[in-house]
């Protein structure tokens, strides 16, 4: 039988839980939510919550959820062996788990109940930190890191949950999903409370909103970056994708919102919002309540002025290239103002050096002082390609060379556009593999090559597999003054090949390729 769980191995990042959990009475849980149960609850106390038997710890409440292939309650015996003391599931799951010996708490939908139950078990609604959440197609991770950077400069102990990493103060672990399951999210917040974290930036995907991963959390401020073609394997069309993002602007999700108007979907988010929102624009000709203008651009930073109501303004810089990164920084600053920070205090904290933030794999320069400039980026959508290629082009005297592949078993409808805009924005294009998963990588590349041929002014095209060879071909084609943008892998340290996470680092491969070519 195929297990309805994500495999856990020595390359799977850990789930962060509180180190000193407080036990909660199962009777109290049943009474709090008015739930039915099977079996005796007397003396049963729970200290944690999980969906996966592979991650059950002694004292856990194991949650059995119906999946695509089977029901998690079918693995109740394994949960008992690992130390689970009770189960929360639906009627179907209760029947499957009846011989496990576990007391069973019944709910109509375990996934829908997971957030509120986890919040109760971990007490995350008691004295919560400042919670800042960001959604959108592109820029979520960058905005989260920028928020964290500014908050640190303001003197706060911070937490972060992003596609790339989870941070608790100085502790860092690699992330699994953009937004963790609700049980993991609340465990993370409880661990942050132990570490006296005062403010948390959370990246929230559309899938997290529709799959209940941030249930039980009310954010102080929620932000929207943009919307463009992506994830149409999960959503029927752009309207359904937008509707998923708009869920973040309900009053059971956030108290206040900040919306970027840089894509037309921003205005639609404002129209759909059920909470007070303010708007920000970095696009000439589109006016928000806050407006951003670029002051200076260098290979090391982008300087901008952000002007808001009553002509309040701040001029600062972000250590990243591209107007879109300045737009992310502007959104972050307005979110902090909405959270109650004075603009003047933010300006004082940033000082002359500007925002101090390191964003792994976000237009990250991995080359030395000699030879071509090489950037590794996580962008994997047509819109991300357009903005990042334009930013790289601005600081390139010679040719722009792009290396990229596409995800397997993910939205295939964007592949032609990815190939087209990559070809239009570069001088030399190297199409390679990324995460093929269970798809044929040659078939993925063929679709990208078809898209590249649709460009109005196509780049010189090379199809090279595997990516280890592709980056070496790109470096071999490059000269001093050229730039190479390797889009897709970003911060990730693996490739997903037929369900196996194969160790792999684009940053390390790029540096090795440069050294092998004789560049420092």
For residue 16, being part of any structural domain is answered with no
Both 196 and 227 in one domain: the answer is yes
The whole-number pLDDT of residue 364 equals 92
- Pair of tokens at residue 448: 């990208």
DSSP class per residue in 134-188:
EESSSSHHHHHHHHHHHHHHTT--EEEE-SSEEEETTEEEE-SSSS--HHHHHHH
8 A C-beta contact, residue 395 and residue 372: no
| 3-state per-residue secondary structure call for 277-341 | EEEEECCCCCCCCEEEEEEEECCCCEEEEEECHHHCEEEEEECCCCHHHHHHHHHHHHHHHHCCC
For residue 277, being part of any structural domain is answered with yes
The whole-number pLDDT of residue 12 equals 63
CA distance 54 to 52: 5
CA distance 213 to 202: 12
Both 188 and 307 in one domain: the answer is yes
Both 485 and 387 in one domain: the answer is yes
Q: In this predicted model, what pLDDT tens digit does every residue of 308-333 receive, in sequence order?
A: 999 999 999 999 999 999 999 999 99
For residue 422, being part of any structural domain is answered with yes
The whole-number pLDDT of residue 233 equals 84
CA distance 110 to 101: 19
CA distance 185 to 119: 9
Percent helix, strand, coil in the chain, to 5, is 35, 25, 45
Both 417 and 505 in one domain: the answer is yes
Scan for tokens 């937008």, then name that residue. 242
* CATH number of residue 165's parent domain: 3.40.1190.10
Both 220 and 301 in one domain: the answer is yes
Both 192 and 140 in one domain: the answer is yes
Please give the tally of structural domains in the chain.
3
CA distance 258 to 269: 10
Both 166 and 303 in one domain: the answer is yes
CA distance 180 to 259: 24
Both 165 and 314 in one domain: the answer is yes
Both 369 and 307 in one domain: the answer is no
* CATH number of residue 44's parent domain: 3.40.1390.10
The whole-number pLDDT of residue 174 equals 85
CA distance 120 to 124: 7
The whole-number pLDDT of residue 6 equals 38
Of 169, 207, 205, 210, residue with least CA distance to 188:
169
Boundaries of domain holding 173: 130-350
- Pair of tokens at residue 269: 């988010």
Angle at 408 between CA 407 and CA 413, to 5 degrees: 80
The whole-number pLDDT of residue 4 equals 33
Query: What values do phi and psi take at 268, rounded to 5?
Result: -70, -35
Whether pTM > 0.85 for this model: the answer is: yes
**Which of 105, 122, 139 is where one domain is finished?**
122
Of 127, 57, 51, 114, residue with least CA distance to 85:
57
Both 236 and 345 in one domain: the answer is yes
Return the H-helix or E-strand segment holding 472: helix 467-477
Both 318 and 209 in one domain: the answer is yes
For residue 8, being part of any structural domain is answered with no
CA distance 505 to 399: 25
Both 227 and 79 in one domain: the answer is no
* CATH number of residue 479's parent domain: 3.90.190.20
User: Low-confidence residues of the chain, pLDDT below 50?
Assistant: 1-10
DSSP annotation of 437? B
**Which of 325, 350, 375 is where one domain is finished?**
350
8 A C-beta contact, residue 261 and residue 283: yes
Return the H-helix or E-strand segment holding 268: helix 265-272
8 A C-beta contact, residue 431 and residue 452: yes
Of 141, 217, 106, 153, residue with least CA distance to 353:
153
For residue 194, being part of any structural domain is answered with yes
Of 114, 113, 217, 224, residue with least CA distance to 159:
217
For residue 216, being part of any structural domain is answered with yes
Hey, how many other C-beta atoms are within 10 angstroms of the C-beta on 229? Answer: 16
**Which of 350, 385, 401 is where one domain is finished?**
350
For residue 241, being part of any structural domain is answered with yes
For residue 357, being part of any structural domain is answered with no
């Amino acid at each position: 039988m195929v297990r309805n769980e994500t495999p856990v191995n020595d390359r799977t990042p850990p789930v962060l839980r509180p180190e000193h959990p407080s036990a909660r009475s199962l009777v109290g849980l049943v009474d709090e939510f008015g739930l039915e149960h099977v079996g005796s609850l007397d003396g049963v106390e729970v200290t944690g919550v999980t969906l996966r038997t592979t991650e059950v710890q002694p004292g856990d409440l194991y949650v059995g959820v119906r999946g695509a292939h089977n029901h998690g309650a079918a693995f109740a015996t394994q949960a008992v062996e690992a130390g689970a003391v009770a189960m929360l599931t639906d009627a179907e799951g209760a029947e499957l788990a009846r011989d496990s010996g576990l007391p069973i708490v019944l709910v109509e939908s375990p996934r829908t109940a997971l957030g509120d139950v986890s919040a109760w078990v971990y007490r995350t609604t008691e004295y919560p930190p400042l919670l800042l959440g960001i959604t959108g197609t592109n820029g979520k991770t960058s905005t989260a890191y920028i928020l964290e950077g500014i908050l640190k400069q303001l003197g706060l102990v911070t937490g972060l949950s992003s596609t790339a990493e989870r941070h608790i103060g100085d502790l860092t672990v690699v992330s699994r999903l953009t937004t963790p399951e609700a049980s993991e999210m609340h465990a993370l917040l409880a661990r942050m409370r132990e570490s006296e974290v005062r403010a948390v930036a959370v990246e929230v995907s559309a899938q997290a909103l529709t799959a209940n991963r941030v249930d039980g959390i009310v954010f102080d401020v929620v932000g929207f970056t943009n919307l463009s073609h992506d994830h149409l394997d999960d959503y029927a069309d752009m309207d359904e994708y937008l509707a998923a993002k708009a869920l973040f602007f309900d009053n059971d999700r956030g108290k206040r919102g900040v919306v970027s108007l840089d894509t037309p979907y921003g205005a639609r988010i404002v129209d759909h919002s059920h909470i007070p929102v303010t708007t920000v624009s970095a696009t000439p000709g589109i006016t928000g309540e806050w407006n951003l203008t670029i002051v200076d651009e260098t290979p090391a930073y982008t300087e901008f002025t952000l002007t808001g109501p009553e002509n309040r303004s701040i001029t600062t810089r972000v250590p990243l290239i591209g107007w879109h990164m300045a737009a992310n920084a502007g959104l972050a600053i307005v979110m902090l103002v909405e959270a109650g920070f004075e603009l003047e205090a933010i300006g004082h904290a940033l000082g002359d050096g500007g925002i101090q933030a390191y964003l792994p794999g976000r237009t990250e320069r991995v080359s030395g002082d000699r030879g071509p400039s090489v950037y590794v980026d996580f962008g994997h959508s047509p819109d991300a390609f357009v903005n990042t290629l334009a930013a790289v082009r601005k600081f390139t005297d010679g040719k722009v060379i792009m290396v990229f592949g596409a995800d397997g078993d993910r939205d295939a409808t964007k592949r032609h556009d990815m190939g087209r805009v990559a070809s239009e924005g570069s001088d030399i294009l190297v199409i390679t593999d990324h995460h093929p998963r269970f798809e044929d990588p040659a078939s993925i590349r063929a679709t990208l090559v078809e898209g590249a041929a649709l460009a109005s002014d196509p780049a010189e095209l090379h199809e090279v597999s595997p990516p280890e060879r592709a980056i070496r071909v790109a470096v071999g084609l490059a000269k001093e003054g050229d730039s190479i943008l390797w889009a897709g892998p970003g911060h990730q340290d693996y490739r997903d090949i037929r369900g196996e996470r194969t160790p792999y680092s684009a940053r390390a491969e790029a540096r090795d390729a440069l050294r092998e070519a004789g560049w420092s």
